[in-house]
Amino acid sequence: MIRVVLADDEQLIRSGWTTMLSLHDDIAVVGEAADGREAVEAGTGADVVLMDIRMPRMDGLAATQELARRSPATRVIVVTTFENDQLVWGALRAGAAGYVLKRAPADELAEAVRLVHSRDAVLFPDALRRIASPHLGTAKPRVPVELTPRELDVLRHIALGQNNAEIAATLHVTKETVKTHVGNVLDKLGARDRTRAAVLAYELGLVFAGTQGQVLGTGDS
């Protein structure tokens, strides 16, 4: 059972999320919060927090950052009314595992919860590339750690949003081998999950958004 906390300053929104998520047997709403401070308290120890960005006392960005520090195993999905790239990018940098729109249908909301909980792929990789593009520089990539060529390959595919099975099929290796590489990449980058690894890869220039929607890397395969 995936334990979810709902954080939004509007009771009507929280009630709507509860109704939508209650349709799925593998998801349970275990807490609610009306502001950022309550979100940190209620979300500590939960599996997933649905976090509104604009809330009183402490906004969703600050709450996400504090929750990432206090409860590293908790995954945050920021929820926005509009696709504001600057706000979403700020949330991802703060430690969010992904985002959804408030108008998202019930099935899409539930799938987002499952995906970030499984930690097996990046939520909305196409949107992540679009959001990241304005923040990418043209300077020579800065590699703060020694990633092997194979680990760079895996990082590229993480940034594409591929899960372990898809990466294994692409690289013609076993899922167990991919899982080991993913773990090494996260450890070397100091990333708590795949989304953070993808964000860091863009920020550090290890990968960049290609003109055909591909992610290109800095190392040899």
CATH numbers and ranges of domains, the chain: 2-118 (3.40.50.2300), 133-217 (1.10.10.10)
**Does residue 166 contact residue 157 with C-beta atoms inside 8 Å?**
yes
Residue 21 has pLDDT above 80, yes or no: yes
> What is the reported pLDDT for 142?
56
Average pLDDT over residues 135-151: 66
For the chain, what is the mean pLDDT?
A: 85
Burial 28-47 (b: 16+ CB within 10 A, else e): ebbbbbbbbbbbbebbbebb
Residue burial 172-198, b: 16+ Cβ < 10 Å; e: rest: ebeeebbeebbebbbebbebbbbbbbb
- Predicted local distance difference test score (pLDDT) of residue 160: 81
Instruction: Give the angle 85-66-155 at the CA atoms, nearest 5°.
Output: 55
Cα-based distances in Å from 64 to 56, 82, 92, 130, 176: 14, 19, 9, 22, 31
User: Tell me: the pLDDT tens digits for 185-215?
Assistant: 999 988 888 988 888 887 777 765 543 334 4
Confidence of residue 9 (pLDDT cuts 50, 70, 90): very high
Q: Which residues contact 208 (CB under 8 A, 6 or more apart)?
A: 136, 202, 215, 216
* 145 vs 57, more confident: 57
